[in-house]
Amino acid sequence: MGARVIKSNAHASIGVFDGALDEYLTYLSVERGLSAASVEAYGRDLRDYLAFMHAAGIDSLDGIEREDITDYIEDLRKRGYASSSTERHVAALKGFHRFCVREGLAKTDLAASVPLPKTADRLPQAITIDQVAALLDQPFASTPAGLRDRAILEMLYGCGLRVSELTSLGFGNLLLDDELVRVRGKGGKERLVPLLGSARQALDEYLRDGRPHLHAKGNAAAQDPDAIFVNARGGRLSRRSVCKLVEKYGRNVRIEGLHPHTLRHSFATHLLEGGADLRVLQEMLGHSDISTTQIYTHVDRSHIREEYLSTHPRARMRPGGHT
């Protein structure tokens, strides 16, 4: 079958595939416990895929061949989908076909032999040390919310936290006598991260002069007594709220599109450039595999060249043995 270009349309007709798709989405919701938003996203991607097959005249799951799937992947590329979006679509269709075979809706899983498209390693850009200084040294309002916001920015950069790790912090995570934060990361893995310098100072000021006022203003139903970072109602601050305030303070110092993960990446990059051991950095970031740390923490080429020139005994020698 030749590749066909069709418009992406979540409401396009998928004919006989409708029942199988409904069963799969129910499985994702009920048995896998995925959120409504995730199930909706799966449905949108799979409707696009099945509409492509329906438009090509394929009328059964077993009528889909491996070549049809590769044609669909090529069609996604022609329609301008980014490699990450293409990978997401293919992961969705592979899961769908696997489910259909397991449930007896199809006899063979030809999608199993289709590899996921490779995506280029895309890393969030680190901001410079001067930009970090501008961000963290800007004037903050001397209000409870201002103290909170400064502590959030200081901890995102000073501790390398993911935004979900920051918002989930409770008082049991703070080991202040030891100057450490106990962080629960991906997969429930715990790690200890130093809490020092300006990050510790900003947190102390917020806990002393900011949080009590924010928490007291809230109503009993909204209050979260264990949450470190709270909103104006005394409830736990959401990830979305943190992202919005980080972007706002970045915009104040002409850093457009600043995201909490950029501060985590800057934390890693600046430590590595300062000579931090990669294994120690892996532990602080909470990476289970050192290769993730190596990919995540890029070192700019000029820094590599400077390190080489300053450390290699023959780096400055010219042909003939002269320096």
Catalytic center residues? 162, 186, 261, 264, 287, 296
Other Cβ atoms less than 10 A from the Cβ of 194: the count is: 15
Amino acid letter, 146: G
Task: Tell me how far apart the alpha carbons of residues 288 and 224 are, in angstroms, rounded to a whole number.
Answer: 31
Task: Tell me how far apart the alpha carbons of residues 191 and 304 are, in angstroms, rounded to a whole number.
Answer: 29
Task: Tell me how far apart the alpha carbons of residues 271 and 275 are, in angstroms, rounded to a whole number.
Answer: 6
- Tell me the torsion sign for CA atoms 10, 11, 12, 16: positive
Amino acid letter, 58: I
Task: Tell me how far apart the alpha carbons of residues 52 and 5 are, in angstroms, rounded to a whole number.
Answer: 8
Q: For residue 192, what is the enclosing H or E element?
A: strand 190-194
Task: Tell me how far apart the alpha carbons of residues 93 and 208 are, in angstroms, rounded to a whole number.
Answer: 52
At CA 171, angle to CA 166 and CA 173, rounded to 5? 60
Burial 104-119 (b: 16+ CB within 10 A, else e): ebbeebbbeebeebee
DSSP state of 253: T
Residues whose CB falls within 8 Å of the CB of residue 287, separated by 6 or more in sequence, listed in order: 293, 296
DSSP state of 56: T
